[in-house]
Structure 1
Amino acid sequence: MTEKNILAYFKSPEEAQHAASKLQSLRVADMSIDRFSADPGGELNDPMNPLTGKITSLTTLTLNADISGPSAGILGAADPSASGMSGGGQDGTEGRDILLTVVLDENVFPQAMRLIEESGGMI
């Protein structure tokens, strides 16, 4: 049995979970749902006062990135998403930070692709 994989991007974990539940009826060898980001860091667990706190970079304030030093801070702040000064989203990927990874039998690959697209996924 030959296997194929699919990487599908969704706008919400609920959309990805809906697609995953549909895919369970197929012969799925492995499946996972993950959130990813271009910036290191995560939930805002350590709130600070921007007027008195140590601020490494604009990216630290706007994207809650965990910046390792001044050079990384400059690079992160150069990204349009840090300042919000970009229209962005011209390629349709805007807001798709949920990744559904599926490994399945190649015989059901076309059907799986169709199910994912019908569930709002971008492949």
Structure 2
Amino acid sequence: MTEKNILAFFKTSEEAKKAAEQIKGLGVTDIQVDRFSKYPHGSADFINDPTTGDQPSQAALILGASSDRDTGVLASADVSASGMSDGGQDSVSGRDVLVAAIVDESKFDRAIQFVKDNGGLV
């Protein structure tokens, strides 16, 4: 049988996980749910304490973006961190959770329907 790939984007990990479970119910075993970020080191999964003085950048403080001093300058220039904008450059879609799956062609249409039913974008 032929296989097809699915790359679906979701706004929440709950939506993505629900769709992934439904797709797994079709007998699909090659499926993965991941969150991604436009920042080079991903986002920080820890609480930053600004009183320690160990803040590599404004983006680390405002957005929780994990970055070193080299990339922090660019990340801090982003509209999301600086708040400085004349509008119209919003590249944030809110869909930062990815479901990637390899499904049998005979199950592809049903899997796509699960994605759409759970608010995903293919």
Q: Indicate the TM-score class for this superposition, using the shorter chain for normalisation.
A: 0.7 to 0.9
What is the rounded CA distance, in whole Å, between the counterparts of 1:60 and 1:90 in structure 2? 20
SS at match of 1:73: helix
* 8 Å contact kept, 2:59–2:81: yes
SS at match of 1:28: coil
TM-superposed CA distance for 1:58, in Å, is: 1.3
How many residue pairs are counted as aligned between the two chains? 119
CA RMSD of superposed structures (Å): 2.4
SS at match of 1:65: coil
* 8 Å contact kept, 2:50–2:61: no
* Percent of residue pairs bearing the same amino acid type: 42
Q: What is the TM-score with the length of structure 1 in the denominator? A: 0.79
* Unaligned stretches of 5+ residues in structure 2: none
What is the rounded CA distance, in whole Å, between the counterparts of 1:89 and 1:95 in structure 2? 14
SS at match of 1:21: helix
* Unaligned stretches of 5+ residues in structure 1: none
Q: Counterparts in 2 of 1:71-86, with a 5 A limit?
A: 71-85=70-84
TM-superposed CA distance for 1:120, in Å, is: 0.5
- 2:35 corresponds to 1:35: yes
1:104 corresponds to which letter in structure 2?
A: V
- 2:108 corresponds to 1:106: no
Taking structure 1 as reference, are residues 85 and 117 closer, same or farther at Cα in structure 2, changes over 3 Å only? farther
1:60 corresponds to which letter in structure 2?
A: A
Taking structure 1 as reference, are residues 88 and 97 closer, same or farther at Cα in structure 2, changes over 3 Å only? farther
Partner residue, 1:64: 64
Taking structure 1 as reference, are residues 30 and 102 closer, same or farther at Cα in structure 2, changes over 3 Å only? same
Q: Deviations over 1:56-88 (max 9, x none)?
A: 22111111223222x412211121121244567
